[in-house]
């Protein structure tokens, strides 16, 4: 039997066995996660920074000036100018690409176009890919975990602003662990915001 587009639905309204198997694989299959070391290098590469100029008293030169020129101490103070690097939080767009997110591609593209981010991280059970632009999106397959991707980010020890796009379809146990890891991220200066997608724009 040859199918032009979709396989038929039989009179009992169930799809053929082969279709059920493909759907089951799509729901459960997960991709190979990127390593912790690779993720850390990636975030460091895209971490923004600026510079702060400040001053520090040069004690040795101050005392030499005070003794050599017989000036009072206040008039003898010498400063060294110092340029400090101010490391800003890297802005991460964390995108759930599990099977249940398949209907929400338009909403995902909307956020990719309109939110200011440094890098996109794609996850199912864990973070498996990244990109700097909206195209192309990976396939939407496998189950999902929020805890594992956030734990991966925490392990890099890099301050981050995380915007998480998902349909919120994780297990109660995973959600409990997620709440714990979010608290730990917050203690290290990172922020986390979850956008739960229910329907496309």
Alpha-helical segments (H) within 47-114: 59-68, 73-76, 105-114
Co-location of 70 and 168 in the same domain: no
- Give me the pLDDT at residue 93, please: 95
Q: Which domain holds residue 118?
A: 27-47+88-196
- Give me the pLDDT at residue 154, please: 96
pLDDT digits (tens, 9 = 90+) for 43-63: 988 876 545 556 677 788 878
Q: In the chain, which stretches have pLDDT less than 50? A: 1-7, 10-11, 17-26, 50
Q: What are the structure tokens assigned to 197, written together?
A: 């997608």
- Give me the pLDDT at residue 84, please: 55
Co-location of 54 and 129 in the same domain: no
Q: What are the structure tokens assigned to 124, written together?
A: 């199912």
- Give me the pLDDT at residue 49, please: 52
Co-location of 32 and 96 in the same domain: yes
- Give me the pLDDT at residue 134, please: 63
The mean pLDDT value of the chain amounts to 81
């Amino acid at each position: 039997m040859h199918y032009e587009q979709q396989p038929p639905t039989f009179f009992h309204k169930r799809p053929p066995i082969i279709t059920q198997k493909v759907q089951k694989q799509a729901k459960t299959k997960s991709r190979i996660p990127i390593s912790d070391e690779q993720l850390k290098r990636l975030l460091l590469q895209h971490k923004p920074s600026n510079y702060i100029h400040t001053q520090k008293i040069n004690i040795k030169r101050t005392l030499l000036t005070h003794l050599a020129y017989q000036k009072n101490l206040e008039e003898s103070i010498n400063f060294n100018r110092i340029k400090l690097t101010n490391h800003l939080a890297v802005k991460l767009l964390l995108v759930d690409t599990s099977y249940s997110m398949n209907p929400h591609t338009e909403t995902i593209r909307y956020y990719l176009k309109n939110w200011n981010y440094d890098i996109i991280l794609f996850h199912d059970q864990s973070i498996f890919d990244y990109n700097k632009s909206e195209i192309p999106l990976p396939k939407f397959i496998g189950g999902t975990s929020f805890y594992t991707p956030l734990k991966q980010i925490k392990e890099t020890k890099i301050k981050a602003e995380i915007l998480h796009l998902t349909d919120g379809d994780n297990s109660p146990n995973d959600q409990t662990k997620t709440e714990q890891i979010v608290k730990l991220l917050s203690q290290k200066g990172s922020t986390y915001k979850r956008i739960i997608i229910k329907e496309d724009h």
